Amino acid sequence: MLRGQVQQKLAAQGLGDFEVRMDGQATTLAYREDGFAQTAASGETARDRMLRAVAHARSVTGGLPESTLYGSVLMGPVTRVRMDEGSVDLMQARLDSVATQTVVTEQVLQAAEDCTGRVTAAVADRRLQFVSGSAELTGDSQTILTDIYNTIQTCPQNLVLSVEGYTDNVGQDNDNMKLSTARAEAAAFALIDLGLAQASVSSRGFGAQNPIADNTTDDGRARNRRVDFILHPRDEPEGP
């Protein structure tokens, strides 16, 4: 059937996101609702893509013989190929909405990265200190936490803080996981006590995972015993 020929032509040109409707000697192209992903991936505007589809459809319908059997009706050449304007407008509105959301998402991700960098700079080469083998913060850590809190106060409110605890590789994995979790929780609660909203702070321990230094040296192990402070867009999955 002619409709199938047009559909095959469009599919061969990467234009499978169109529905082909035929009525008498007229062919109408409309965007399929389930074709949005393909349309968006093309990078074209809805109208430009539709015009390209119309041109390919005309290359099929315009070359028909003087009479064509369509269904049970003998008809002349199908030369009229029209676009469904409503579907073009609807598709463009969807494309614009996604483009706007993408820009907003990129801005939020950049803000999270910038704020994490500022927190890291505020901490500088200092590290939270704990009583050996426990999650009890020492007095020297309060200054660091206050600096972190003050820096986070300058960040956008649509960001949340993930407090991530780590240990070196000495000891049992299970014990290290528990200790890193407890230390991350202690740091998180200290920031909440300073004024951060509890709903905007989470904590998690990773034990000896993701070392940043050599665990075979005293200095390396000391660097791996750390608490990191990472800003994320709200509702973004956390963790390394």
186-224: pLDDT as tens digits: 999 999 999 999 999 999 999 999 999 999 999 999 999
Report pLDDT for 214: 95
* pLDDT value at 142 more than 80: yes
Q: Looking at per-residue confidence, does 161 or 75 come out higher? A: 161
Average pLDDT over residues 49-71: 69
Where are the chain's structural domains? 2-83, 104-233
pLDDT band at 34 (very low <50, low <70, confident <90, very high): confident
Q: Tell me: domain 104-233, CATH 3.30.70.1140, correct?
A: no
Nearest 5°: phi and psi at 66? -60, -30
Mean pLDDT is lowest, of 1-10, 39-48, 132-141, 217-226, for 1-10
The letter for the amino acid at 193 is D
Mean pLDDT is lowest, of 47-61, 65-79, 95-109, 141-155, for 65-79
* pLDDT value at 64 more than 70: no
pTM, whole model, 2 decimals? 0.61
Report pLDDT for 26: 77
Q: Which of 109, 130, 106 is nearest to 226 (CA)?
A: 130
Cα–Cα distance for residue pair 17/50, rounded to 1 Å: 10
Report pLDDT for 62: 67
* pLDDT value at 69 more than 60: no
Cα–Cα distance for residue pair 31/92, rounded to 1 Å: 10
Report pLDDT for 73: 41
Report pLDDT for 59: 84
**What's the burial of 25, exposed, middle or buried (CB within 10 Å: 0-12/13-18/19+)?**
middle
For the chain, percent of residues with pLDDT exceeding 70: 90
* pLDDT value at 70 more than 50: no
Instruction: Please write the tens of the pLDDT for every residue from 147-173.
Output: 999 999 999 988 999 999 999 999 999
For the chain, percent of residues with pLDDT exceeding 90: 54
Average pLDDT, the chain: 86
Instruction: Please write the tens of the pLDDT for every residue from 105-120.
Output: 888 889 999 999 999 9
Cα–Cα distance for residue pair 234/228, rounded to 1 Å: 18
The letter for the amino acid at 36 is F
How far from 129 is each of 133, 167, 168, 209, 223, CA to CA, in Å?
Answer: 11, 12, 14, 19, 11
Sole residue written with tokens 């200095």: 219
Q: Looking at per-residue confidence, does 126 or 237 come out higher? A: 126
* pLDDT value at 42 more than 60: yes
Average pLDDT over residues 165-187: 96
